[in-house]
Amino acid sequence: MERKHNRFALVMGALVLALGGWTSAGATFPMAGVDPSQRPQGAPTITEVVRGPDWYKRALTGVSQPYPYSLRFLEDQGNWSTPFIHPGMPGRYDLRGWFSQ
């Protein structure tokens, strides 16, 4: 059992060293979240939301018209990540037919 722990510690140590060298190689981006009450100076901001016809087509994949009122939230959807417009699991869980196309 001790041999497994030593191997794990060795692998984790190598990983930390490798990632530490990789991330410090030239990262000059502002780090958000260090002080939640302050927005970092130079942090990017969203100035406009662009949703073209392709975005709506993707967001409404597998939903037939008339669209349910509950999907009105798409009008307020900003440029943040949403799982609603991406395929989920295949097979019997594919209720909207993402994988059958």
> 4 is written with which tokens?
């497994």
**pLDDT recorded at residue 69:** 94
Mean pLDDT to the nearest integer, 16-27: 58
Average of per-residue pLDDT across 40-53? 82
Locate all alpha helices (DSSP H) within the chain, ordered by sequence: 2-23, 53-59
pLDDT tens digit sequence for 60-89: 998 999 999 999 988 888 888 888 888 888
The residue with greater pLDDT, 88 or 34, is: 88
Answering whether pTM is above 0.95, one says: no
Which DSSP letter does residue 38 get? S
